[in-house]
Amino acid sequence: MSKLGAGIAITGIGSAAPKAILSNDHLSQMVETSDEWISTRTGMKNRHIASSTESLSQISARAAQQALSMAGITAADLDLIILATSTPDDLFGSACQVQSLIGATKAVAFDLTAACSGFIFALITASQFIRTGVHQNVLVIGADILSHWVDWSDRNTCVLFGDGAGAIVCQGIEQGDRLLAFEMYSDGSQNNRLNLPYIGESKPLVEDIEASVGTYRPIVMNGREVYRFAVAKVPEVIEKAMFRANITSEQIDWLLLHQANRRIIDAVAQRLKIPREKVLSNIAEYGNTSAASIPLALDEAVRQGRVQPGDIIAASGFGAGLTWGSAIFKWG
C-alpha cells in the first residue's frame, strides 16, 4: 500500500487492435460514400474491425500485458483494474475476464462506462485510489468494439467507428505527482445527441405486471450537434485544467484528444494556439475507437520515441452522455 497523499506516475502503456482493416474504399462498396468524403470530413482512412473470434477482453488483455511489461511489473502486482468500455463482452462487465486472462489474482477489477470520455474518467478514478493511499499499482484500460453496435447501412455513422484497446499502468510514487490537473463534466440534458439505446417490447408476465424484453439498438448520433459541442467544450475543459495545473499552452508538449474527427482536433488545437506538430493523432489508421482512442494514440507516440519522459500531455475525451473531461500529465 502506498502512502496517503502519494503522487501518480504513468509507468507503462500498451495497445492492441484487431487485424482486419476496413478502408474507405471498402465502405464505398457498402454505402453511398467515398474516400474523398470520409477523408476530408473526418481525416479517417482505415479502421480495425474485430472478427467474431476476437473479444473485447482479449484485445484488452493484449494491451494490458504490453503496459505491464513496459512498467516492469507483473499482473500479480496489480491492486486494481479499471476497464473503461461501453461495449463489454458481457453486460455484467468484462474487467474480471481481463483480470483472469492476465492472471491479476490479487487485483479487484470493475468496468466504468463513460463512452468516449471513459479513458480520461478511468484515469482520474485510478488517481483517487492512488492518492488516498488505498492502491499502489493500477491498470487502466480503455477499450471498445463499437463495430458490434454500428448500423452498417447508415453512412452517417458506419464510416466513423473502429475497434481497439489501450492500457496504462499507474503507480503511486512518494515524490512528485505526474498528474498535474484534471476536470470532468457531464450534461444529461443533451443525452439524445448520441445513443446506443436499449429498446424493449412489452412482455406480460402475470395480470398487471409486464416486463420489457429487448436488446440494444445500433448507434444513433446527431453528428452536427456533437461536433458543435466538442469544438465548444473541449478547449474550455483543457483551459480549465491548464489553469489548475498553473501552466500555459506553450508549456504543453503534446495535445492528445479523443480521435473523433480530425477537424475537431485541428479546431481545438487552433483555439488553444497549439501548433500542428504538437498534436498526436492516428485517426487515419484507426477511426474513432471510443474509450481506446487516447491510449492507442499515446502508445504509438511513445513507442515511436516522439513522446519522451517528462513531456507534458494535455489529453481530453468527449462523447456520449454527454460527457467530457481533461487530464494534464507528465509522461513516465
Q: What is the secondary structure of 59-123 as a DSSP string?
A: HHHHHHHHHHHHHT--GGG-SEEEEE-SS-SSTT-SHHHHHHHHT-TT-EEEEE--GGGHHHHHH
Is residue 142 a contact partner of residue 85, using CB atoms and an 8 Å limit? yes
Q: What is the secondary structure of 107-173 as a DSSP string?
A: -EEEEE--GGGHHHHHHHHHHHHHHTTS-SEEEEEEEEEGGGG--TT-HHHHTTB-EEEEEEEEEEE
Residue tagged active-site, from 24, 48, 158, 258: 258
Helix H or strand E segment including 293: helix 293-303
Is residue 194 a contact partner of residue 224, using CB atoms and an 8 Å limit? no
288 catalytic, yes or no?
Answer: yes
246 catalytic, yes or no?
Answer: no
For ligand UT7, which is the closer residue by CB, 213 or 232?
Answer: 232
For ligand UT7, which is the closer residue by CB, 21 or 173?
Answer: 21
User: Least distance (Å) from ligand UT7 to the CB of residue 164?
Assistant: 13
For ligand UT7, which is the closer residue by CB, 156 or 191?
Answer: 156
User: Least distance (Å) from ligand UT7 to the CB of residue 38?
Assistant: 6
Site of interaction with ligand UT7 (CB under 6 A)? 33, 37-38, 41-42, 116, 155-156, 159, 223-224, 226-227, 230, 260-261, 264, 288, 319
User: Least distance (Å) from ligand UT7 to the CB of residue 25?
Assistant: 13
Residue tagged active-site, from 116, 137, 170, 261: 116
116 catalytic, yes or no?
Answer: yes
Neighbours of 34 (CB within 10 A): 13
User: Least distance (Å) from ligand UT7 to the CB of residue 255?
Assistant: 16
Cα 208–chain centre separation? 43
For ligand UT7, which is the closer residue by CB, 7 or 295?
Answer: 295
Active site (catalytic) residues: 116, 258, 288
